[in-house]
Chains A and B, each alone.
Chain A
């Protein structure tokens, strides 16, 4: 077990190193380089690149796994590298104006992007176009518990809560299948959740936190409103959470 852990951490390390390598190929172009590139490529060529980036991101987003800048550069932008910032800016404009989406760079350190929906969803009108994904409910429960418990919870609390909802992480669920894998692997890779070891615990214990995607995709205020609705209380009765939710809402706008 501990050996597995070690291997995993090594993998992570080598992954991190890989990322650095990838990033190494992406050096900030100098102003003169950008200038030269702008002269080298015709506007039509650049338009085409922008369209390619938009398509690449849209398709990559199907799996909801954040898209790495290194991948965009490697697979699409290629020799237009020095125009990267121009292209991404224009792609973002396309997402906003054409698709009503927003390209968000989460965690400026690792340069990964996600798409979020810019359009306000009205409560009354059901979104009939895309039927609800039951995993959203599962995610809501977990994120809700984490948020209401002040930002991080031990995994046992999550498992216990889910168990009350007839979802047992050790068993195959008829709706979700391997629940533990969805929660600790899929949701983590999608950056909805962080699943980290609590230091100095014996036996090993893990805790959950909100991932970067959740931070930019989930409205804490709306979540609190729904939770309050469930409890038949006012959202304000959880003073601390309400304060956090409203300040997050203001900063997101």
Chain B
């Protein structure tokens, strides 16, 4: 494989060298003997040991890279017809190539040669036999003068001349003169744009419409939620107070006869109202506004707590219990207590509607 690569690179070198001859008279007498040797030992295992010395090869490669770099860096310089630098580079490459034994180094040599031929071609293109040559840098200098560029003294010390003052209208000045070379059609523009002024296109309108409700919905949603929470809380409080009122008025009617808990909370016409009553009544118990006790028949009774009555008993008399009720037990209770009507009247207005 290395053999074929070497052959290929050598081929391009020879071809390129033919080009180079025209410019710099490049000749490589030592190369032919070199390659002759190479061919003998070009088999896969035929590489001599001294040829394969990695340190030596590395050094050659580094020298090639330096050379390539210097060519690339000093490109403009090498193109100058006044010097012979391109030739010097080729000489140096010839010296390096004497020690090249393997494809990698040869490839670098080829790379350098491509670069050198390219430069050679460019150098040759400067040699227009007819008329005067065109020098872009001189052109640029003349342009600068035309544009009203003000050279300051520091500019003289060479370095690409990046000092100096460029008037703000420099390019306008050049354009004004240069546009005589252009047959550009003047482009006209409508004062109010190229389209008829019409109400905004329908697409926009659709967008706006779609946007508006979503915005409103967003705005409404949270307030609605707040209201619901509030009203719900308020409704519960109101309901609890209402039930307390009921309890107190029943108690006041006849303080001696105990009010049976089940008779109090059960609404024989509605199971859900019953559950609600139980729920609301539990607040009365929790807040210490009512108490539940068992009468002589072991049936729970409910009575409002008089003001100041709670204090002496203290917290130790409080207990928790869970009231459970199902539609079946609800019906049983109605039958057992023979409940005809609800003691707690159904609230006239539903809390949601208020």
A positions within 8 Å CB-CB of B: 58-59, 61-62, 64, 99, 101, 114-118, 121, 123, 126-127, 129-141, 144-145, 148-150, 156-157, 160-161, 163-166, 175-176, 200-202, 216-219, 222-223, 226-227, 230-231, 233, 237-242
Contacts and interface: CB of A to CB of B under 8 A. Distances in A.
Interface stretch (B33-41, B127-135, B328-336): B127-135
B180 interface: yes
Interface in B104-124: 111, 114, 118
A149 B125 CA distance: 9
B186 A130 contact: yes
Contacts of B131: 237-242
Interface residues of B, number: 47
Nearest to A130: B186
Contact of B179 (A132, A164, A216, A238): A132
B348 interface: no
Contact of B76 (A139, A160, A217): A160
A108 B111 CA distance: 41
Interface in B170-209: 171-189, 194
B184 to A, nearest CB: 6
B225 interface: no
Nearest to A133: B175
B302 to A, nearest CB: 84
A197 to B, nearest CB: 15
10 contacts: A126-B176, A136-B179, A136-B182, A139-B178, A145-B136, A163-B160, A164-B140, A217-B184, A231-B139, A239-B130
B146 A230 contact: yes
Contacts of A133: 175, 179
Contact of A217 (B118, B140, B172, B182): B182
B172 A134 contact: yes
Contacts of B176: 126, 132
B129 to A, nearest CB: 9
B8 interface: no
Interface of B: 75-76, 111, 114, 118, 125, 128, 130-132, 134, 136-147, 160-162, 166, 171-189, 194
A161 B136 contact: yes
User: Which applies to chain B's interface (DSSP): helix, strand, loop or mixed?
Assistant: helix
Contacts of A129: 186
Give 10 closest A-B pairs by Cβ, nearest first.
Answer: A239-B131, A137-B174, A140-B178, A164-B140, A137-B175, A132-B175, A134-B171, A115-B185, A148-B134, A230-B142
B180 A226 contact: yes
A88 B111 CA distance: 54
Nearest to B194: A59
B144 A165 contact: yes
Given A160-B76, A166-B166, A230-B143, A217 B183 contact: yes
Given A61-B187, A217-B184, 17 more contacts: A62-B187, A64-B184, A117-B185, A126-B176, A131-B172, A134-B174, A137-B172, A137-B174, A140-B174, A150-B125, A156-B75, A161-B136, A164-B140, A164-B161, A219-B183, A226-B180, A238-B134
A19 B128 CA distance: 41
Contacts of A240: 128, 130-131
Nearest to A158: B136
Contact of A233 (B132, B136, B146, B177): B132
Nearest to A237: B132
A226 B183 contact: no
Contacts of A101: 185
A64 B187 contact: yes
Nearest to B176: A132
B177 A226 contact: yes
Given A160-B76, A166-B162, A175 B181 contact: no
Nearest to B180: A121
Contact of B186 (A117, A139, A161): A117
A138 to B, nearest CB: 7
A227 B186 CA distance: 24
A161 B189 contact: no
A149 B130 contact: no
Contacts of B182: 136, 139-140, 217-219
Contact of B171 (A116, A175, A201): A175
A42 B75 CA distance: 68
A136 to B, nearest CB: 4
Contact of B185 (A116, A230, A231): A116
Contacts of A141: 143, 174
A227 B131 CA distance: 15
Nearest to A62: B187
A166 B135 CA distance: 18
B186 A165 contact: no
Nearest to A174: B168
Contacts of A132: 172, 175-176, 179
Nearest to B185: A115
Given A137-B171, A238-B131, A58 B188 contact: yes
Contacts of A126: 176
Contacts of B145: 230
A165 B188 contact: no
B73 to A, nearest CB: 13
A136 B187 contact: no
Contacts of B141: 164
